[in-house]
Homo-oligomer: A and B are copies of this chain.
Amino acid sequence: MISAVTHRVNYSETDQMGVVYHANYLVWMDMARTEHLRERGVSYKELEAAGVYLAVTDVRIRYRQPARYDDLIRIRCWVRERGSRRVIFGYAVERDDTDALLATAETSLIALTAQHALSRIPEPVCDLLDPTPDPVRL
C-alpha cells in the first residue's frame, strides 16, 4: 500500500545553491502519486477522460536534506486519508542509495468536474484508496 518511484535528478532541477530547487519536489510528488494510483488500479489519465479531475488544495513539505544533481532519489507515496470528495497523500523523498530521508510531505486533493465544480471521487476509485499508516513521521 506504499508505492515507490525512482527519479534521477537532472540538471534543470538544480539551482545555484548546488542543490535541487525546492519547487521540484512538488513535481516528484505528482509523479509518485500518479504511479501510486496506477499501482492501485486507477489511471489518472482515464479518470480525467471520464470527467474527474483531482486538484491539489493543500501542500505541506518539510525539507530535511538537499537532493543533488545526478542523485537517484526514491519517492514513496501512500494514502493518508480518504473521503468521498477528498484524498490526502503522504510522501517520503529518499536517496535511493543511502535511504537518507530528504523530505516528507502531504498533499490534499479534491475531486472536480471538467468545469472545475466540486465533485465526488467515483466510488470504485474510492474503494481502491484505503488509507495506510504513515511509514515515517511527516
* Residues in A lying within 8 Å of B, measured CB to CB: 8, 10-12, 14-19, 21-24, 26-27, 30-31, 34, 43-45, 48, 53, 55-63, 66, 69-70, 116
Q: How far is the CB of A109 from chain B (nearest CB, A)?
A: 10
Which of A14, A43, A53, A61 is packed against the most chain B CB atoms within 10 Å? Answer: A61
A24 cross-chain contacts in B, Cβ below 8 A: 23
Of all chain B residues, the one with the shortest Cβ separation from A71 is B45
Q: Looking at the complex, which one of B31, B66, B69 makes contact with A45 (CB distance below 8 Å)?
A: B69
Does A34 contact B10, Cβ atoms closer than 8 Å? yes
Q: Looking at the complex, which one of B15, B23, B34, B57 makes contact with A70 (CB distance below 8 Å)?
A: B34
